[in-house]
Structure 1
Amino acid sequence: MSAGGHSDEVLDGLRRHARKLVADLRGPLRRVRLRSGETVLEVEWHDPAEAVAVPRTDPVPGAGPVAETVPGPDRLAVRAPVVGTFYRAPEPGAAPFVAVGDPVRPGQVVGIVEAMKLMNEVTAGQAGRVVEVLVEDGKPVEYDQPLLALEPLAGQGD
């Protein structure tokens, strides 16, 4: 077997271990680092609970027309926890996790970002109503990029 084939096999094994570790712990992990010989797999993401009200900012350069609109100061943003590919539904052909007009509660899954074949849940940090989807399904996203704009729910103690 070639060195590249062995390396790919080791990396695949590390990915499986990382998926299992993340699934078993279910906590607010920030970084996972696994090593097998010279092969290292390191994945880092931010805590979705850190999502807070978003100040008005300039559009993300090169993000495409859907990401041109950024939430205003009276809106909340659900942000990408990692660099990867954003998906609005759990699998192709399935209904999206949320749509414009849907209410969300803190901790509710509103999308996923695939990074290095790991599916990272995107959760709402606060209660609100989805007022805009800022990134198209299947498009690449950067770390901390706004994905959804939420309008805070008035009178809700969530």
Structure 2
Amino acid sequence: MNAGPTPDDGVLTELRRHARQLVDELDGPVRRVRLRSGDTVLEVEWHGPAQPVPTPRDAPAGQPVAAAEQPAAALLVRAPMVGTFYRSPEPGAAPFVAVGDQVRTGQVVGIVEAMKLLNEVTADRAGRVVELLVEDGKPVEYDQPLVALDPA
């Protein structure tokens, strides 16, 4: 008798998708990935040759710059969850940050809406905004880079 999908099946499917995306974004060989969401853990380890990772020149023209293509010194503010990214607190309001702005640790740089809840996205460290990587009102994935900061 099949008991059907468990509540963790959806979480595990989402973790698998995030693992694939993470491997695609990294700029070096991947040997091991471990992701956790609540009590569900996905751990993948490769024992053979390292997985090939696309180089920046393989990316189609016009796509946003991926994390692997950011300058080594750039700090990335990442999406805390899947949802819709907004640069301002409400339509027509000034954006939280713009390119060139200096931000402090903990400062709100955007909002991710998920299931009608607005979740603040804050900078982990201080820095100057060098690039906004996602347009206002666009869908984002968990851990997707949103804002690039120069720590200087």
After TM superposition, is the score higher than 0.5?
A: yes
What are the superposed Cα offsets for residues 22-75 of structure 1, whole Å, 9 maximum, x if unpaired? xxxxxxxxxxxxxxxxxxxxxxxxxxxxxxxxx97467xx9x945235322110
1:68 to 2:74 alignment = no
**How many residues were matched structurally?**
97
Relative distance call for 1:141 and 1:93 in structure 2 (3 A) is: same
SS in 1 for 2:64: helix
Output the CA distance in 2 between the equivalents of 1:116 and 1:122. Answer: 16
Q: Any unmatched runs of 5+ in structure 1?
A: 1-54, 154-158
Distance in 1, matches of 2:78 and 2:94, equals 21
Computed over aligned residues only, the root mean square deviation of the Cα atoms, in angstroms, reads 2.5
What secondary structure does 2:120 align onto?
Answer: strand
So what's the TM-score if we normalise by structure 2? 0.58
Instruction: Give 1:81's aligned amino acid.
Output: P
Shift of 1:86: 0.2
In structure 1, distance between residues paired with 2:122 and 2:100 = 17
Which whole-Å CA distance do the structure 1 matches of 2:113 and 2:72 have between them?
29
Cα offset for 1:89?
0.3
Aligned to 1:118: 117
Which letter maps to 1:113? Answer: V
C-alpha distance in 2 between matches for 1:100 and 1:131: 5
Alignment-derived partner of residue 10 in structure 2: none
Counterpart Cα distance in 2 of 1:112 and 1:90: 7
Q: Which residues of 2 match residues 1-158 of structure 1 at below 5 A?
A: 57=27, 65=62, 67-70=64-67, 71-153=70-152
**Amino acid paired to 2:65:** E
TM-score (norm 1): 0.56
The CA distance in 1 between the partners of 2:125 and 2:112, in whole Å, is 19
In 2, are the aligned partners of 1:56 and 1:73 still within 8 Å (CA)? no
The amino acid of 1:67's aligned partner reads: P
Deviations 1:68-96 (A, max 9, x none): 35322110000000000000000001010
